Amino acid sequence: MSQDDAGIDLDTSLGYLLKEASSALRVAMEAVLRPLNMTITHYSCLELLSQRPGLSNSELARGTFVTRQSMNVLLQSLERDGQVIRPAEAPAGKALPARLTDRGRRSLQSATAAVRSVEVRMLESLTPTEQAAARAALRSMVASLKAG
């Protein structure tokens, strides 16, 4: 069997390793967010809104890597729960700028601390130089994938 027919070498494939790492991160984040009754997408939405108030549904969807339909379902439940508010009418176009309520900010607070602790643990064995190299490599991969 020639090398070209041998499939993807799972022990060295960066694609497989990327999936393994993101899976491990997802599991670790779910573990710390579950006690707070929060999913990863839920947390990501609040974190994004905290840092960029006024983002629309579609912008939040892109920032959390889900479809705008999925984000819309989440936003509606967050609105019902009083964590997020959106105006009844769009100030321009159709995009509705969303904002956190005080309740949303309180929910986010403990979640951010929990997620930060996971990220710290993930990076504990990497030097700042190695972290910078990883950042650069990941950015390059993202750019190449999106260019295709």
| Smaller CB separation from DNA, 94 or 146 | 94
Distances (CA, A) of 147 to 86, 140, 142: 34, 11, 8
β-strand 84-85 against 99-100: which pairing, if any? antiparallel
Of the candidates 72, 94, 70, 98, the one whose C-alpha atom is nearest the C-alpha of residue 84 is 98
Residue 66 in contact with DNA, rule: CB under 7 A: yes
Tokens of 54: 């006024």
Angle in degrees, CA 67, 43, 83, rounded to 5: 95
| Smaller CB separation from a second copy, 54 or 87 | 54
Q: Which of 70, 109, 131, 140 binds DNA (CB under 7 A)?
A: 70
- Contact residues toward a second copy (CB under 8 A) are 5, 7-8, 10, 12-15, 17-25, 27-29, 47-48, 50-51, 63, 65, 108-109, 112, 115-116, 118-119, 121-126, 130-131, 133-146, 148
Chain residues that interact with DNA, rule: CB under 7 A: 30, 39-41, 56-59, 65-70, 72-76, 90, 92-96
